[in-house]
Amino acid sequence: MTTEPKVHIIDDDAGVRDSLAFLIDTAGLPVATYASAPAFLAALAEPLRGCVVTDVRMPQMSGIDLLKRLKAHEVPLPVIVMTGHGDVPLAVEAMREGAADFIEKPFDDDALLASVTAALDSEEGLHRSDEERSEIQARVETLTSREREVLNGLVEGHANKQIAFDLQISARTVEIYRANVMTKMRVRSLPELVRLALKAGVLPG
């Protein structure tokens, strides 16, 4: 008997869970909700299909700890992590642990649905296709060495002033490099830039 693929939403905030469930249900996708990561893990007593959308900051077990648990048990469910403003370092850690994507709150409905659809289309694929990854990597390779340093600082979650201090250049110069990076990477926002960089393998440390 084949289990129906579903979008499994995990968030300790009932309002967020209901809002997400409504959005996904309206898009015509089957959905299930859980108030905590342990509640979701309990449901894994039976094989589940689909993808997971989880908050990163939760009591009992965080989204990062959930990722580690799923990874350790080789559960082949793509995981999309929702992060709050300023949680870029947590997003980096989530990507290290195998997250398929991360979405910053407050999220754009279309962006979330696109991420969920991509995850459902390839349950076992926690990484971009080689062709897509190569395309992103090609964009990274157009960056100058200084632009790459600025990109690394942004991926680490550093503000312009911190990047300027680390590179011993002015904050205004960092702004110029940052604008060049976003143009070359073909993105319009910092979260989009960080997602692309992470998926291309640009990981700090």
pLDDT tens for 13-43 read 999 999 999 999 999 999 999 999 999 999 9
- Residues with Cβ within 8 Å of 108's Cβ and at least 6 positions away in sequence, in order, are none
Which segments of the chain belong to CATH 3.40.50.2300? 6-121
Which segments of the chain belong to CATH 1.10.10.10? 130-199
The H or E element that residue 103 is part of is strand 101-104
Report how far residue 85's alpha carbon sits from residue 87's, in angstroms, rounded to the nearest whole number.
6
139 versus 199: which is more confidently predicted?
139
Q: Identify residue 196 by its one-letter amino acid code.
A: L
C-alpha dihedral sign at 50, 53, 56, 57:
negative
pLDDT tens for 149-164 read 999 999 888 999 999 9
CATH architecture of 130-199: Orthogonal Bundle (1.10)
17 versus 86: which is more confidently predicted?
17
pLDDT at 142 over 50: yes
The confidence band for 127, taking pLDDT boundaries of 50, 70 and 90, is very low
Q: pLDDT value at position 130? A: 57
Q: pLDDT value at position 55? A: 92
pLDDT at 1 over 90: no
> What does the mean pLDDT of the chain come to?
87
Dihedral pair phi/psi, residue 119, rounded to 5°: -65, -40
Q: DSSP readout, 27-59? A: TT--EEEESSHHHHHHHTTS---EEEEEESS-S
pLDDT at 66 over 80: yes
Superfamily of domain 6-121: Response regulator (3.40.50.2300)
157 Rama sector, left if φ>0, alpha if ψ -120 to 50, beta otherwise: left
The confidence band for 126, taking pLDDT boundaries of 50, 70 and 90, is very low
